Chain A
Amino acid sequence: DVKVTQSSRYLVKRTGEKVFLECVQDMDHENMFWYRQDPGLGLRLIYFSYDVKMKEKGDIPEGYSVSREKKERFSLILESASTNQTSMYLCASSLEGHSEFFGPGTRLTVL
């Protein structure tokens, strides 16, 4: 059974903290994605990666960075968290040309 896991379901951080969100997939997918989901705005792509050590900016990369050192793991980093980064963060993975499989999400609150 396909599986995408995320390190935390809920996270509370303070403004200015560095935040790491981890995502792991066990399907040997080459593509991995980070989205944020906000009411009325839908899912918006932050960054994606199509291979180890490769990354591409999505539609809203500002304030975020990513790391993909191993094929199965894709990390999202908030260098200095701000209140407007309070959101639901969803990780996904896919084989090229196929549908994306999503993780359960991390609800991040920045105080």
Chain B
Amino acid sequence: GQNIDQPTEMTATEGAIVQINCTYQTSGFNGLFWYQQHAGEAPTFLSYNVLDGLEEKGRFSSFLSRSKGYSYLLLKELQMKDSASYLCAVRVAPRRGYNKLIFGAGTRLAVHP
């Protein structure tokens, strides 16, 4: 089966750091994605990990451990505009030649002044 778990809700303070965890159990693994989705809007791509380790992109970093089936998204210097849902997704290959994403239910982050 395919299972991706992430916390439902988190709160944090403006200027702080927050870590959103994601654990997965999937049939196959071709990479892990993080998307940001503001209320009423489309998800937008944030980061991609396929090898173990940390990928840094400005205020956002994402970490992957394939042996543990674990990833996290780290958001630094939080701003009010970071209040959004954060979606963890694992890419799997149901058949040779093409891929699809399996999404977690998303983590709703609220940033307070």
Contacts and interface: CB of A to CB of B under 8 A. Distances in A.
B48 interface: yes
Interface of B: 4, 8, 33, 41-45, 48, 87, 89, 94, 97-106
B99 A97 contact: yes
Interface residues of A, number: 24
A102 B103 contact: no
Contacts of B48: 99
Interface string A49-90: 010000010100000000000000000000000000000001
14 contacts: A40-B105, A42-B4, A42-B87, A42-B106, A43-B103, A50-B97, A56-B94, A56-B98, A90-B43, A97-B99, A100-B45, A102-B42, A105-B41, A105-B42
B100 A48 contact: yes
A9 to B, nearest CB: 9
B99 A42 contact: no
Closest 4 CB pairs between A and B? A102-B42, A42-B105, A43-B103, A99-B45
Nearest to A38: B105
A103 B87 contact: no
Given A99-B48, A102-B43, A104-B41, A45 B105 contact: no
Best-buried of B41, B44, B48, B100 by chain A (most CB within 10 Å)? B100
Given A41-B105, A42-B105, A43-B87, A90 B42 contact: yes
